[in-house]
Amino acid sequence: MSVRTALITGASGSLGHQICRQLHRHAETVIVHASTPASARAARVRLIRTGWEPGRIHAVSADFRRLSEVARLAADIRRHHPTLDLLVNGAGAITAPGFTPDGIDTTFQVNYVAPYALTRLLAPALNAVSGRVVTLTSAAHRDARLNPDRPGTDLRRPAEAFKQAHLALVMFSRTLARCSQRRITAVAVHPGVIHTGSFATVHGAGGLPAADGSAHVMHAVGLSGAHAHGSYFEGLLPGPLSAQAADDNAGLRLWQATAALIGWDYTGCRLPGWRPTDRADAPAAAGMAEGAARRPGPHGRP
């Protein structure tokens, strides 16, 4: 396995850090993402201390609670890295109850809507080199159901939003594999019950070491052939999908409804080109937060 450029979101966490360490032998350049500039710089320093050459690690930041920051991040990455071999969607968290400035449940946006937006905005860079998208999700998706035409609705507790988000991630990964017409390889993986911040919030003590989870993610990174495209793994083995996750029509409806939710005007089963919302200074991107403050959100919320 040889990777020229890889982006790891959530690289400041224990699992993200271990994934970056595993990539040391395979990637020429790793872009480490965290929610703030300070945490991104700290993640880079941690990797340098493990033996990484400083020139091979680039630190970037974006707060996934703000879609305008996701758009800015994608624009910055494409400006400096026109091709992207690997995207690992690893950022996620269970947040306090509430809504983002974009009018979306915070946990649902951080865990699903923001990765959806980032992946689609980076599609041209991924397409250019037949890149791979590995999306970290959870077996807990089998405990959830969502309305694919109105994603992110009827969420009463953050833990419920977290499970629905991971169901949405599995559905999105499978739809991405179909819509990319094999230009992009998309794999979803449950890395195991890892002791991360989200795990501790739900379960308290326990969970596997992050190094174990990173090995499962790297297995998904290295998959080839029929085992890779559109697949879902739990650890090292193919995992069972819920009925809704396996529903191709529901996956396409979710793809389209999510695009509508964040105000994009291209909702078809195709990868996007560069649109006004892809620029941090564009009125559409800048207006996402402002519009949410001025009017009810997409589901009637302020």
Domains and CATH numbers, the chain: 3-294 (3.40.50.720)
Mean pLDDT of 186-212: 68
pLDDT of residue 177: 93
* DSSP codes joined into one string, 185-221: EEEEEE--SB-SHHHHHHH-S--B-HHHHHHHHHHHH
Average pLDDT of the chain is 83
Rg of the chain on CA atoms, in Å: 18
Q: Could you give the residue ranges of the DSSP H alpha helices within 81-145? A: 106-108, 114-121, 123-127
**% of the chain residues with pLDDT over 90:** 63
Buried b (16+ CB within 10 A) or exposed e, 102-117: bbbbbbbbbbbbbbbb
**Which of 80-84, 127-131, 192-196, 231-235 has the lowest average pLDDT?**
192-196
Distance CA 280, CA 31 (A): 19
pLDDT tens per residue, range 200-244: 555 455 567 767 778 889 888 888 766 678 999 998 889 999 999
Distance CA 117, CA 285 (A): 12
| DSSP H or E run through 162 | helix 158-179
pLDDT tens per residue, range 20-44: 998 988 899 999 999 999 999 999 9
Judged by DSSP in three states, 165 sits in helix
Q: Could you give the residue ranges of the DSSP H alpha helices within 50-102? A: 67-80
Residues 6+ apart with CB under 8 A from 20: 8, 11, 30, 32, 43, 47, 57
